Amino acid sequence: MTEFGKTLTVTETPIPGLLVVDLPVHGDSRGWFKENWQREKMLAAGLPDFGPVQNNISFNDAVGTTRGIHAEPWDKWVSVATGRIFGAWVDLRAGASFGTVFTTEIDPSRAVLVPRGVGNSYQTLDADTAYTYLVNDHWSADAEYSFLNLADETSAIAWPIPLSEVEVSAKDLGHPRLADVTPVGPKKILVLGGGGQLGLALRDALGDAAHIEYATRDTLDLRETDLYSARRWRDYSTIINAAAYTAVDLAETVDGRREAWATNVTGVTALARIATEHGITLVHVSSDYVFDGTTAGPYTETDEVQPLGVYGQTKAAGDAVVATVPRHYILRTSWVIGEGRNFVRTMASLAERGIAPRVVGDQVGRLTFTDDLASAIVHLLSNTAPYGIYNVTSGGDARSWADIARAVYRLTGHDPDAVTDVTTSEYFADQTGPIAPRPRNSVLDLSRIRATGWTPREADEALGVYLASNL
């Protein structure tokens, strides 16, 4: 019999993410009413916003009808409209909880949120039971499913009515035992720009697990019109966008402007739409170039953007688009140093060849080493930090490019006095072709990322480690 007057409560179970929810049911002599899924109230009670897209009903004539155990690549909201069931769930996800079992009875006053990869099954306890379930993806022949035999001895589900006495399909009876089940892997992580400086650092940080994909422009181009069909996006939990058009000066040309907008804005807009539609977390790497560099102190995440050149304008536009994605992290960074050609390696090469360089001394900021930037991304994701914008650079005092060049000379055993300061105008005075305006102050405030528990390395220390291991 349905219990009336319950308070909406959420109870955890031994299976991570499998939640039992008691529902308020209001009834009288005419019957009863309940809100089977009420998003605002459910979220306030602590349930995740799992985004159902389909509502299914399975009607069962007889007592003892038994179905399952099926694990699908989507979440389910399970309840009954009439009757009662004995529900049984087995965790079929890869990991420490694989094989964990939970059972409970469900009547109209109780529902269960079943996370992706957890095997779901039930046995009817009343005739004319209407079993309902909301799902957050549509069935697809291309999706990966996993199954467990209802009579598996390891799970040892205590069915109220023995399986030998109930109606079970031959297909369900033919599913494998637990020892032979293929575990359901985690949702995929896609790293765009996998061959770039940050992409290579993310490979080191994330590894080469089967659920992590690294894409280059050759394998997944943000500018392609078929991006929406390029993947089964519901299978992804996270997209890390480490791809960008970064040719700051070329962006001031006609062709460069077109390329910068196509990659940094149009492509990012497509990613944002995909992430929003499929509940994906979008991690987007931005730049200090969204600011004009005229502020006296460090820039915070809430300062207004005022980009000077085309590159900065496209990055600011991309940030605005990504900020509309419900689950997003925008990492603003500056002066990135990693694998490949970069300022530090250039200065080290000049020092080795005995060249005395003229280096800009009126632009100040902090270096950001790609392994630190990758570490910050992993930290935000693994700690489910609040979504939003985070400044991420190395720590320590602000330096000019000339200061950093002198540090490179000193750390490589050469005379730092060989470096001569020049102004930005002087440095570019003899340059031909377009020159993009640069922000004079690129210092970013790191208070917000520090508050999440991530501590940046001091830039001077990181520079010494980089030079020792890369030269």
* pTM exceeds 0.85 for this model: yes
> Domain residues of the chain, as ranges?
9-180, 188-470
CA angle 235, 241, 246 (to 5 degrees): 160
Contact 79, 106 (CB under 8 A): yes
27, two tokens = 């009834």
What is the biggest distance separating any 2 CA atoms in the chain, rounded to whole angstroms?
A: 95
Of the listed 70, 145, 211, 387, which one is catalytic?
70
Of 122, 133, 214, 299, the catalytic one is 133
pLDDT in tens, 11-63: 999 999 999 999 999 988 788 899 999 999 999 999 998 889 999 999 999 99
Known catalytic membership, residue 466: no
Helix axes 310-322, 268-278, angle to 10 degrees: 10
Q: What's the CA gap between 296 and 183, in Å, rounded?
A: 55
- pLDDT, residue 340, reads 86
What mean pLDDT is reported for the chain? 94
**Are 202 and 154 in contact, with CB atoms under 8 Å apart?**
no
Read off the pLDDT of residues 228-252 as tens digits, 9 standing for 90 and up.
888 888 899 999 999 999 999 999 9
Amino acid at 131: Y
Which stretch of DSSP H or E encloses residue 424? helix 424-428
pLDDT in tens, 151-202: 999 999 999 999 999 988 889 989 999 999 999 999 999 999 999 999 999 9
Active site residue 122: no
* Architecture of domain 188-470 in this structure: 3-Layer(aba) Sandwich (3.40)
How much is the pLDDT for 1?
57
Q: What is the CATH class of 9-180?
A: mainly beta
